[in-house]
Chain A
């Protein structure tokens, strides 16, 4: 049995070609593979990080952006602890699709899921979406927000570490175990974290401003 405190499922979604796979590769392997082909189905990677001296295992599901694989990718939403919705800051269309993605999240994901909006490819010269536009969108939809560059390894580590931190805090505060027994979740128990299907409670996360302010340094 591996030694870790919590296991979290993180699922990346967003249009094809916004750089989901590159973000995951950068974080898990420290690589930026140029000419990355389109992801087929769902890719799966694991990385263990340390938060306050505790080992946190992140199970990262990198989904295909294409519509054709939607039934496969959607099946992962419900059990996700965090959903990373990615768009390309140099491509307006990828931003315009965000409401569609949010609808999908509303329909399939748990209401308790941690939702993070990521504007990727900040290394690009041809930016079409100013930071404040993404920030406002995130704010309006109660999401965390961060801009990254998988190519320059900018904010990628931060993105996942912040998610791990936030999720650890949420578990400790009992956010995920409304219906399950109260108490500290052991690693085995963590897969039992039940995310109830009802969505009567709207989660009240503090919003984006915290991340972006420290990331623009």
Chain B
């Protein structure tokens, strides 16, 4: 069995290499195993001998059958290769047939063309003779769709070629003739104002492949109509009496008629153009119409300038704005109230133009969408149209109008404000003066008028001018008044001072009398408080104005580009930011009030604390319980001070005053405490006082204000301790607002606490 040798070559080790006994034993056992396996296989083969023999004889019987199969397979192969060849031949023939068929079709078409050609050349002549231009044009259209040279080559004989050429010649001539006739008839129709004929011949141009010429002629006709209408409208506008109903906006009306006329023309003509010329021709028409629009709008605008004396008014106002510092005013300076109507008309003109331009843009983009499927290509066309549109005379004229409008509106705003300032009064019960309401009314009016003009630049400019007005005139003006200070000297008791102030104010208002020197102080006080309230109220006004204008802009100015939106947003946020400037002014006013009206008043009250001993006996403590020498007085005084300001300050300013008053009381009392000594009962008394004061101040102030009293409360806690050991107990539950060194200083105020023990405390 030599396959056995091969099957186990690795395991059979050369006997000479077996050097150790173990190796030899291993080799022996392996050989024994092999022998057993071989024996098993041998036994199996011998056992199956009969079966194997039967199989072999079966195989021998199969051999002839296999020969038969082989012969069959060979035959099949032959058949297949034959079929393949056949199929190849057939497909070649089919291709030939296809070619032949397409040539037949082509030939048929040429035959058809030739037949039509003959028909056309005959038909055109008769149609022309009968003035049936539609049929003639249809024939020519058919002829123009043919390929001349191909048809000439089709004919084999010279005579036939000749006749084809004559047909061609005849048709070419007919085409020229027809085109000339149509052009002439169209022009005639235009001259005769025969609308039906204009339409009739307009439809024939595309049949002669003269799309552009047809459109140009037609649009020229439309332009002439527009020119005519505008001339009529202009002359009736010029002749309109100043008393007529719409005379104050007649130029805006006239330009509106122009825009509406063009829009209507487009509306009516576009479907006709699309039907007979196909989509994609609108840009040519609109460009031509726009040129006419530019010319006509220019005429209207220059008429308007002349009649409204716009240039003179603008130049007077511009000089006035430029030399606003100088005293002499030009005599020809308009009254801002008279500008109202002019401003209204200018905004209306621009608003109408914007509306018209939006219509044109919408139409052109719809037309491009219908004719150019490729997005990139379409965008390119739209951008090109937009570039042309944005540099048209109309847009330039309107930009100049917006420029003029802005100058006048700026002047209107400033002058109206000056008037409001001159007429500034304080109503008897009002906390603010009339200026604030008036100023914001004027600003709102001006900016809203700018919004009505639909001009983004106009709105932005007016927002900027409004910001300037608020920051320089309002905030700046309030600041100036507040810098003069709040006079407190002259009266020891503020209540008394207040009564005098009220009565003198009333007498001033009622009788116009001016009292002696005290009135100067009263006037100053009044002015100070009004400025303070005005400043605070202005912040509310700014916030409300911002919201209103933002809403107005979003609803009135639709379809803005991202850039325009960003411009408006930037200017709007500048308006909102003026609250910051006003806030600083108000804050300054409150600090002035603290310095002159609060600080000097608090001082004597706290002095009572300093003069009251806190190193006291049982009897004094009991006596204080019934009749507190300090806290009661303080509360009454604070109440009196606050009470006197309630009718004088706006809610927000009053809150600020309470806050500074509480801060001042806390600060001064803290200082006073540090100068006082306490025994155990004194500490208890102080704790009682602080509780009463904190309880009272919490009632009159807002939650946040109480924070300012925490330090004082904690001082009272420290001074009210039984012994120093309690400090650590409190420390576990309290976040100290006092620094460790401050705590030690406070504890040292207790006469019965020992200094070295305080030093040892862990804080």
Contact = CB atoms under 8 A, between A and B. Distances in A.
Nearest to B404: A68
Contact of A72 (B318, B395, B396, B457): B457
Contact of B403 (A37, A46, A69, A179): A69
B12 interface: no
B567 A78 contact: no
Contact of A191 (B403, B461, B574): B574
Contacts of B584: 179-180, 194
Q: How large is the interface on A (under 10, 10 to 19, 20 to 34, 35 or more residues)?
A: 20 to 34
Interface string B10-47: 00000000000000000000000000000000000000
B574 A79 contact: yes
Nearest to A40: B399
B403 A44 contact: no
Nearest to A107: B322
Interface in B439-492: 455-458, 460-462, 464-465, 467-468, 471-472, 476
A40 B461 CA distance: 13
Given A71-B407, A72-B461, A46 B467 contact: no
A76 B406 CA distance: 13
B659 interface: no
A99 interface: no
B285 interface: no
A194 B468 contact: no
Interface string A94-135: 000000000000010000000000000000000000000000
B406 to A, nearest CB: 4
Given A40-B396, A44-B566, A44-B570, A194 B407 contact: no
Nearest to B456: A41
A16 interface: no
Contact of A78 (B318, B395, B407, B464): B464
Given A44-B567, A78-B464, A191-B573, A71 B581 contact: no
A30 interface: no
Given A75-B468, A78-B468, A191 B457 contact: no
A59 B570 contact: yes
A161 interface: no
Nearest to A104: B322
Contact of B395 (A40, A43, A179): A40
A165 interface: no
Contacts of A192: 577, 580
A83 to B, nearest CB: 15
Contacts of A79: 464, 467, 574
Contacts of B468: 75, 78
A141 interface: no
A78 B573 contact: no
A44 B573 CA distance: 15
Contacts of B464: 75-76, 78-79
Contacts of A43: 563
B403 A72 contact: yes
Contacts of B570: 44, 59
A75 B574 contact: no
B124 to A, nearest CB: 49
B402 interface: yes
Given A44-B570, A75-B464, A75-B465, A197 B457 contact: no
Nearest to B567: A44
Contacts of B457: 40-42, 69, 72
B403 A70 contact: yes
Nearest to A76: B464
Nearest to A194: B581
Contacts of A180: 580, 584
Contact of B563 (A44, A70, A72, A198): A44
B410 interface: yes
Interface in A160-217: 179-180, 191-192, 194, 197-198
Interface string B391-404: 10001100110111
B294 to A, nearest CB: 15
Nearest to B464: A75
Interface in A58-84: 59, 68-72, 75-76, 78-79
B472 A197 contact: yes
B400 A78 contact: no
Interface in B374-423: 390-391, 395-396, 399-400, 402-404, 406-407, 410
Nearest to A190: B577
Nearest to B321: A71
Contacts of A197: 471-472, 476
Contacts of B390: 37
Interface string A17-59: 0000000000000000000010011111110000000000001
Contacts of A191: 573-574, 577
Interface string B549-562: 00000000000000
B408 to A, nearest CB: 8
A179 to B, nearest CB: 5
Contacts of A194: 471, 577, 580-581, 584
A191 B457 CA distance: 20
B93 to A, nearest CB: 64
Contacts of A76: 464
B580 A41 contact: no
Contacts of A59: 570
Nearest to A45: B563
A66 to B, nearest CB: 8
B458 A72 contact: yes
A42 B457 CA distance: 7
Contacts of B391: 37
Contact of B460 (A37, A75, A107, A198): A75
Contact of B400 (A37, A42, A46, A68): A68
Contacts of B567: 42, 44
Contacts of B410: 71, 75
Contacts of B461: 42, 71-72, 75
Contacts of B476: 197-198
Interface of A: 37, 40-46, 59, 68-72, 75-76, 78-79, 107, 179-180, 191-192, 194, 197-198
Given A68-B403, A75-B460, 16 more contacts: A37-B390, A44-B567, A59-B570, A69-B457, A71-B406, A71-B407, A72-B406, A72-B457, A72-B461, A75-B465, A76-B464, A78-B464, A78-B467, A79-B464, A79-B574, A191-B574
13 contacts: A42-B460, A42-B461, A44-B566, A44-B570, A68-B404, A69-B399, A70-B407, A71-B406, A78-B467, A194-B471, A194-B580, A194-B581, A194-B584
Interface of B: 318, 321-322, 390-391, 395-396, 399-400, 402-404, 406-407, 410, 455-458, 460-462, 464-465, 467-468, 471-472, 476, 563, 566-567, 570, 573-574, 577, 580-581, 584
List the 8 closest A-B pairs by CB distance, nearest first: A41-B457, A75-B464, A71-B407, A197-B472, A71-B406, A192-B580, A72-B461, A75-B461
